[in-house]
Amino acid sequence: MDVLPHSNCENCEHFNADGLKKLGVDTTDFDYIVALAGNPNTGKSTVFNALTGLRQHTGNWPGKTVTRAEGAFQYNEKKYKLVDLPGTYSLLSTSEDEEVARNFILFGKPDVTVIVVDANRLERNLNLVLQILEITDKAVLCLNLMDEAKRNNIEINIRSLAKDLGIPVVPASARYKEGIPELIQTISDVASGKIICKPHRIKNIPKDIEEAVRILSDKIKKEFPNIPNSRWIAFRLLEGDNQIIEALESGVFV
């Protein structure tokens, strides 16, 4: 199946408003785990509140959320546990302030990762998006703050973005609850396998590095046939990331 780019109207008709129930903090017996990742201050907590009906603190500065928060919603008979993460700029660092988010994205095994980005700062946000797409292939891009983008005369071609990234893209203004139904529908489609993503892989890497990564990731694949993101692990091993080495040794990835 091909990737369907999603735009506002494509989804509204599918959306089943009666099937949605905000469950607040009740996260028992969930069917899927959904992680909310993204750069700082892109509206992750606002999206989280819109989906769960909770009142997680939001604030207009990078770093408002520092611990992970959990909530849940139910849509069409399936229960989703939603995890709001602190913002991160990158998964390539080892800095302490980003540890919580990094660990959850890497080791928390979310069924769907919703990447919330700021439509006004797409280019810098893509830095993280492209890294996450190396790790998982079940992801949704929530293009948030669309209202501001409109005000700033930024027009985004959703279709081409979805095609380039290989994952569904949902434009939204979380604060005004715009795009939230579409987001829910898309999350459920990705979770259930109705949408299959073909995530973008980082291309612009010097030849010798690409070669080294290939050799290493082939070796990893041979030893651990079940690891889905051997390329990412190769990246990290080449950088000497101790945490990844430990994770390999303890078998977290398998």
Partner 1 sequence: MYFCVNRKGKYLKFIMYSYNPTYALLIFIVVSMVLFLLFRPNRGLFWKIRSVYRVDDKIVIEDILKQLYHSEDKQIGINFLVNALGYRDSIIISGIDKMIDGNLVYFEGEYLKLTEEGHDYALKIVRVHRLWERYLAEKTGFDKSEWHGIAEQKEHETDDEEAGKLASSLGNPIFDPHGDPIPTISGKIAELDSIPLSGLKVGDIGKIINIDDNPEIIYKQILAENIHIGSQIKVLENNSTRVTFYSEGEEYRLAPIVAANIKVSIVNTPEEILEDNVIRLTGLKPDEKAIIEGISKESRGDSRRRLLDLGFVKGAEISIDLVNPFGEPTAYFVKGTTIALRDDQARKILIKKD
Partner 2 sequence: MDKKNIHNIIALANELRWKIGDDFHDNLAEGIYADAAEIVEDAIIDKNRDRKERLDNKIDRIVTSRVWGFPIMFSILALVLWITIKGANYPSAFLADILLGDVRPMLKSFAASLNFPWWLSGFLIDGVYLAVAWVIAVMLPPMAIFFPLFTLLEDFGYLPRVAFNLDYLFKKSGAHGKQALTMSMGFGCNAAGVVATRIIDSPRERLIAIITNNFSLCNGRWPTQILLATIFIGAVVPASLSSIVSLGAVFGIAVLGIFFMFFVSWALSKTLLKGEVSTFNLELPPYRPPDFWRTIYTSIIDRTLIVLWRAIVFAAPAGAVIWLISNLYIGEQSIAAWMIHYLDGFGFLIGLNGVILLAYIVAIPANEIVIPTILMLTVLVTGLNVGEGAGVMFELDSVNDTASVLKAGGWTLLTAINVMLFSLLHNPCSTTIYTIYKETKSMKWTVLASILPVIIGFVVTFVVAQLWRIFVN
Residue 87 binds to ligand GTP (criterion: CB under 6 A): yes
How is residue 55 written in tokens? Answer: 């009142």
Residue 193 or 240: which CB sits closer to partner 1? 240
CA 4 to CA 112: how far, in whole Å?
A: 16
206 binds, among partner 1, ligand GTP, Mg ion, none (CB under 5 to 8 A by kind): none
Angle, in degrees to the nearest 10, between helices 44-52 and 180-192: 80
Residue 226 binds to partner 2 (criterion: CB under 8 A): no
Check: CB of residue 28 under 8 Å from CB of residue 20: no
First to last CA, the chain: 27
Residue 199 binds to ligand GTP (criterion: CB under 6 A): no
* Binding-site member from 2, 13, 77, 96 for partner 2 (CB under 8 A): 96
Residue 229 binds to partner 2 (criterion: CB under 8 A): no
Closest CB 64 distance from Mg ion, rounded Å: 5
Residue 145 binds to ligand GTP (criterion: CB under 6 A): yes
Residue 45 binds to Mg ion (criterion: CB under 5 A): yes
CA 143 to CA 47: how far, in whole Å?
A: 11
Using CB under 8 A, which residues numbered 3 to 22 contact partner 2? none
Using CB under 8 A, which residues numbered 72 to 91 contact partner 1? 89-90
Number of CB atoms found within 10 A of residue 204's CB: 5
